[in-house]
Structure formats: structure tokens, C-alpha cells
Amino acid sequence: MRLLVVEDDRDLNRQLVSAFEQAGYAVDRAFDGEDGQFLGETEPYDAIVLDMGLPKKDGLRVLEAWRKAGKTTPVLILTARDRWSDKVEGFDAGADDYVTKPFHLEEVLARLRALLRRAVGHATSEFCCGPVTLDARAGRVLVDGNPVKLTSHEYRLLAYLMHHMGRVVSRTELVEHLYDQDFDRDSNTIEVFVGRLRKKLGIDIIETVRGLGYVISSPAKVQGQGK
Ligand code: CA
């Protein structure tokens, strides 16, 4: 999962980015409305955290521009405590949720997880496929109840496929959602990560669809295969 943080307060931007990275997301950052709008229009983020008070172009105008351009990416807006009208205008412009400053990072993380799973029609933060459980809240993966230690890239890859269970995901799409923009991207590494994941999980829930990409089938189908 890849996120964008648009916040002009440098300290706050850094805090958000480091909390998101620790939680296992790839993160890009922008410090003003123009850069933020450009990134949101050109990069395929899974969710965006957008401050309302921004230099060059305010958050509301940025959000309106994204929605006008047909971007449906979930957007969490950051509003000042005394600006209740920000929330109303923000929702009307297409925001999906908001957090009031000052906030606890835990709350922002919880709201983001909710946005990400709602975007794919999933009701809880646990994703299961056969014996494999991905707990997006704790950021961990269990096989038959036993924790499996994954690197952040392996975790992101598995999380992305599990959020999109039942759909074939191309290598290009994986690359776009696993790495931030500064990362030296190489779609061949995806194959390496998939190989390592299969080994660590000890069960092959990730299917290769030749020429198309990878898919984790819905739990029913995987259980059915064993019978
Ligand atoms: Ca601001």
C-alpha cells in the first residue's frame, strides 16, 4: 500500500511519514498544494492524507481538482480544531474522513486502515486466506496461528494482494503500490519477493498467472483445492 502525505508543517509531515513507514506503507510526501495535487493526479496512491491549510493552493482546492479529474483515491483531511467549516467543505468536496489537529498518530493510522479496507469492501482489519491471516492493525502475518517474520517489502506485497483478493494484479501495479517515488524500481524484484514470501509462508496461496501477474484466490477456492 502506498500513501501520499501533503502537509506543509515539516515536523508534522516527517512524523506522519515515519509513522506510516513504520506501519509498513510506502510513502511519498509533498509540502505545498501544487506539488501535492500533481502527485495525487499522476501517481496511483491507495490513500492520501491532505492538510487543509497549505501554501500555493489550499487543501480544499486540491481535493476539488482531484475529484473533478475523476480521482477516487480515499482522502483523509487534516483540519484545525477551530475550523469546523473545513470539515463540512472538505466532505462536500469529496473527503472520506478527517482528523482534527492536534491528533494522535494512532488515530490517523486507524482511520487510514479503515479507509483502505473500505475502499476494497472489507469490513475488518483482518484478511484471511486458508491458514494465512494478515492483521493490518498489528502489521503482522500468521500461518496457522504462528507469526511469520516478513521484511517490509514482503509485507507490503502480501498486504496488497490480500486487499485485492480474487483479482489478478500485474507486476507493474505491484511496483507502483509497493515503492515510494524515490525508490529505484525494478519489476524483476517482485518475482524475488514472491519467491521469498512463498518460502516463508510455507503454503502457496500466491498464484502466478502467466503473462498477467499474481493473484491470491478467495478463501473458499483455496480451501476447496485441498479437497
Ligand atoms: Ca498547514
pLDDT number for residue 62: 98
Q: What's the full length of the chain, in residues?
A: 227
pLDDT number for residue 30: 98
53 CA to middle of ligand 1, Å? 4
181 CA to middle of ligand 1, Å? 23
63 CA to middle of ligand 1, Å? 15
Check whether the bond before 147 is cis (ω within 30° of 0).
Answer: no
96 CA to middle of ligand 1, Å? 19
Cell numbers linked to 158: 502480501
126-225: CATH number: 1.10.10.10
Reference 156, options 119, 123, 122, 189; nearest CA is 189
Strands 132-135, 140-143: pairing is: antiparallel
Residue ranges in the chain whose pLDDT is less than 70: 219-227
54 CA to middle of ligand 1, Å? 5
Give ∠ CA 112-17-21 in degrees, rounded to 5.
75
This prediction's pTM: 0.89
pLDDT number for residue 220: 55
pLDDT number for residue 225: 44
Cite the residue boundaries of each domain of the chain with CATH code 1.10.10.10: 126-225
Give ∠ CA 189-218-141 in degrees, rounded to 5.
55
pLDDT number for residue 204: 86
- Read off the pLDDT of residues 10-23 as tens digits, 9 standing for 90 and up: 999 999 999 999 99
Cite the residue boundaries of each domain of the chain with CATH code 3.40.50.2300: 2-119
32 CA to middle of ligand 1, Å? 9
CA distance 178 to 56: 29
183 CA to middle of ligand 1, Å? 27
Cell numbers linked to 46: 491507495
Residue type at position 16: L
pLDDT number for residue 50: 98
Residue type at position 125: S
Q: What is the 3-state secondary structure (H, E, C) of 64-125?
A: HHHHHCCCCCCEEEEEECCCHHHHHHHHHHCCCEEEEECCCHHHHHHHHHHHHHHHCCCCCC
108 CA to middle of ligand 1, Å? 16
Q: Which CATH number fits domain 2-119: 3.40.50.2300, 3.20.20.480, 3.40.120.10, 3.20.20.150?
A: 3.40.50.2300
- Read off the pLDDT of residues 148-178 as tens digits, 9 standing for 90 and up: 999 989 999 999 999 999 999 999 999 999 9
